[in-house]
Amino acid sequence: MTLTGRSIIGDLPAKDAKQSGTHRDAPFSAINPATGQVLDPEYLSASAEDVERATSAAEQAFPVYSQCSGTEKAFFLRAIAQGLEAIRDSLVERANLETALPVPRLQGEVTRTANQLRLFAEVVEEGSWVMARIDRALPSRTPAPRPDLRSMLRPLGPVVVFGASNFPLAFSVAGGDTASALAAGNPVIVKAHPAHPGTSELAGQVIASCVRAAGLPSGVFSLLFDNGTTIGTALVNHPRVKAVGFTGSLAGGRALMDIAATRPDPIPCYAEMSSTNPVFILSGALRERRGQIATDLYASITLGAGQFCTKPGLVFLPHDEADGMLDQLQHFAEQSSPFTMLTQGIAAQFSRTVAERKNSGRAQYRSTSDNANIGSPFTTHATLLTTDAASLENNPRLNEEVFGPSALLVSCKDREQTLRAAESLQGHLTATILGTAKDFDRNRDLVAILERKVGRLIFNGYPTGVEVSHAMVHGGPYPATSDGRSTSVGSQAIFRFARPVCYQNFPEHALPQELRNSNPRGIFRMVDGNMTRESLPE
Ligand code: NAP
């Protein structure tokens, strides 16, 4: 596949600036973070007219695509998975150049992206995800008869997806947001992340060719490039767009949430933004296996150069153990080579945030050397900080996410202080408890607090590594996400892009297949309050 440096808008070639006559940001190129080399081709930012064309094509595609059967959508999603695997080598090679993420990690990401699409294919093929409910008519009920009521989930309309910088495949163009929105029956317009445009274009070409091969309307998928906020803002503001999926910074996600909420017709914006993933190390576990915990914790903090939304960034531990643990972690940090970050912006923000914390005097600083003198604008050292629970309570900004290889160790003088620290946490994606069975039993109140703060609780494990499955929850109260009732990973992610519609007293033949008496899809349905796959008498 050849990279063109142009957006993909249905069947239409993106027009150049002169033709479209609208404002367009300057062209941009990807940069190899490992070498600083500028990568061809140059990418042309989309124009306002491109936004019109993409949203119009998506709007036209919606009535057709939303009526596709689960089998048709499953065929389409599997074709995308197969198409990505067919160009695995090109995807990995280009993503490696654009992100400097290691090849084995990117190989795994292609597999994960393809399997994610296949998971959604299974879900829509099986069909019960639509949560069909049937309350049969009760004509002789008194004092008023009950009508026949049947409801199920239906898609929303065109969905805009923002690709993430830290997963060039699994959370980008063909990633989880796109897969779940397509599975639910929505056309998708992706705003590519400017840090990996080539990887984005390759994945976009695969999806566009699968749209053609499946005979679907071309507006089912578009991909727009921009190195700035103009196009993303215009898309989220556009009346034809009905929902948003985003993974990135709190500032970016919050800006898009606010745009979505203040439109004349507000729309849902599912933003996954900022999480520090607290870890609570309990005293029994420290006594039993401090060395092992230090090894595993350091590996989790620095996995992917700490550029994971699930990186453990806040570690609570008993006061008398804090120094020992910090010494062990620092020993690992001193042996680590510097880390190459995804973008110059992310590296600069990491160094700035760490320096602010150091200079504030509210956290003590341990590092192998100063990030300011490291020599490459893409590179940083692992950085460890320590503070106590009282200082954390007085300085809530220390709770904020630091995206990169760093963690803040918080010493707690007693159990009361640990519980107070847990109570003052904001929303996170995960919380982890490292303990013995006895520790766990003694700290059920801690678990009860954490349950209110996060989407996933982990016992004796580490938060990095997110399984894509039916039970996974990758969500959490604000500011981890914009809507703590949702998940952006796993099959439940499909529910973000669908809404319930009820059909009252509809004739059998006019009902969607899922709601007909004969249950031709053989799905699980709630009939008069009971789950069943049985058909109903005509
Ligand atoms: P970002 O700045 O939030 O950008 C993500 C995407 O959203 C980009 O396409 C960006 O466009 C767009 N965008 C951002 N603000 C916008 C706005 N106000 N209006 C319209 N579009 C907007 O994230 P990033 O570039 O990936 O990394 C920056 C920081 O985000 C990191 O240092 C880290 O703190 C955080 N981050 C967090 C996670 C996580 O999973 N929690 C993941 C990645 C990044 P442009 O880039 O073209 O402006």
Smallest Cα–Cα separation from 472: which of 116, 36, 80?
Answer: 116
Give the ligand 1 atom nearest the CA of 226: 47
Q: Per-residue pLDDT tens for 226-265? A: 999 999 999 999 999 999 999 999 999 999 999 999 999 9
Q: How many other CB atoms sit within 10 Å of the CB of residue 94?
A: 25
Mean pLDDT of 104-132: 98
**What average pLDDT is seen over the chain?**
94
What average pLDDT does this structure show over 102-114? 98
pLDDT over 80 at 422, yes or no = yes
Q: How far is 394 from 412, CA to CA, in rounded Å? A: 14
CA angle 195, 91, 172 (to 5 degrees): 50
- State the alpha helices, DSSP H only, in 379-536: 389-394, 415-423, 437-442, 444-451
Mean pLDDT calculated for residue range 273-297 = 95
How would residue 371 be classed by pLDDT, with cut points 50, 70 and 90?
Answer: low
Per-residue pLDDT, averaged over 425-448, amounts to 96
Residue entry with tokens 């969500």: 475
Which range (123-127, 131-135, 377-381, 426-430) has the least confidence?
377-381
Q: According to the model, what pLDDT value does residue 322 have?
A: 78
Contacts of 345 (CB under 8 A, 6+ apart): none
Question: In testing the pocket of ligand 1, which one of 51, 98, 249 has its CB within 8 Å of the most ligand atoms?
Answer: 249
**pLDDT of amino acid 286:** 92
Picking from 357, 297, 301, the residue whose alpha carbon sits closest to that of residue 328 is 297
SS (H, E, C) 304-363: HHHCCCCCCCEEEEEHHHHHHHHHHHHHHHHHCCCEECCCHHHHHHHHHHHHHHHHHCCC
Average pLDDT in the 64-90 region?
98
Question: Looking at residue 372, what is its pLDDT?
Answer: 54
Residues forming CATH 3.40.309.10 domain(s) in the chain: 279-459
Which CATH class, in words, describes the domain spanning 279-459?
Answer: alpha beta
Choose among 10, 121, 9: nearest CA to 76.
121
More confident residue, 39 or 26: 39
Q: CA-CA distance, 227 to 28, in Å (whole number)?
A: 7
**Identity of the amino acid at 176:** G
Question: Is the pLDDT at 531 greater than 90, yes or no?
Answer: yes
The predicted structure's pLDDT at residue 17: 46
Mean pLDDT of 100-120: 98
Residue 16: per-residue pLDDT: 54
Q: Separation of 277 CA from ligand 1 center, angstroms?
A: 19
Question: Which is higher by pLDDT, 61 or 369?
Answer: 61
213 Cα–ligand 1 center, Å:
33
Can you give the pLDDT at residue 22? 57
Cα dihedral 162, 167, 168, 173 in deg (nearest 10): -40
492 lines ligand 1 (CB under 6 A): no
When pLDDT is cut at 50, 70 and 90, the band that residue 321 belongs to is confident
The atom of ligand 1 lying closest to the CA of 309 is 40
Least confident of 36-50, 68-82, 239-253, 360-374: 360-374
- Model confidence at 223, in pLDDT bands (50, 70, 90)? very high
| 318: pLDDT strictly greater than 70 | yes
Question: Which residue minimizes the CA distance to atom 16 of ligand 1?
Answer: 252
Residue 440, pLDDT > 80, answer yes
- Ligand 1 proximity of 118 Cβ (cutoff 6 Å): no
Measured between its terminal Cα atoms, the distance across the chain in Å is: 53
| Average pLDDT for 39-59 | 97
Q: How many CB atoms lie within 10 A of CB 442?
A: 15
CATH class of the domain comprising 44-273+489-494: alpha beta
At residue 158, the pLDDT reads 98
Mean pLDDT computed over 326-339: 90
What confidence tier does 326 reach under pLDDT thresholds 50, 70, 90? confident
Looking from the CA of residue 193, the nearest atom of ligand 1 is 9
DSSP 286: H
Share of the chain above pLDDT 90, in %: 88
The residues of the chain that CATH labels 3.40.605.10 are 44-273+489-494
Q: State what percent of residues in the chain have pLDDT above 70.
A: 95
- Cite the active site residues: 272, 309
For residue 269, pLDDT beyond 70 = yes
Burial environment of residue 366 by CB neighbours within 10 A (0 to 12, 13 to 18, 19 or more): middle
What pLDDT shows up at residue 366? 64
Question: pLDDT digit string (tens) for 8-31?
Answer: 997 765 555 444 545 567 899 999
252 Cβ inside 6 Å of ligand 1: yes
| Atom 19 of ligand 1, residue of closest alpha carbon | 229
Ligand 1 atom, smallest distance to 273 CA = 41
Q: Which residues pair with 247 in a beta bridge?
A: 272
170-196 pLDDT per residue, tens:
999 999 999 999 999 999 999 999 999
Q: Is 219 in the pocket of ligand 1 (CB under 6 A)?
A: no
Q: Is the pLDDT of residue 128 over 70?
A: yes
Cα 193 to ligand 1 centroid, rounded to whole Å: 8
**Residue 191 Cβ < 6 Å to ligand 1:** yes
Q: What is the mean pLDDT of residues 513-521?
A: 97
Ligand 1 nearest atom to the CA of residue 236, by list position:
20
Q: In terms of DSSP bridges, do strands 379-380 and 339-340 run parallel, antiparallel, or are they unpaired?
A: antiparallel
Confidence of residue 369 (pLDDT cuts 50, 70, 90): low
Nearest CA to ligand 1 atom 39: 309
**C-alpha closest to that of 463 among 248, 249, 276:** 276
pLDDT for residue 360: 74
Instruction: Give pLDDT, residue 21.
Output: 47
- Kindly indicate the confidence band of residue 538, based on its pLDDT and cuts at 50, 70 and 90: confident
Residue type, 173: V
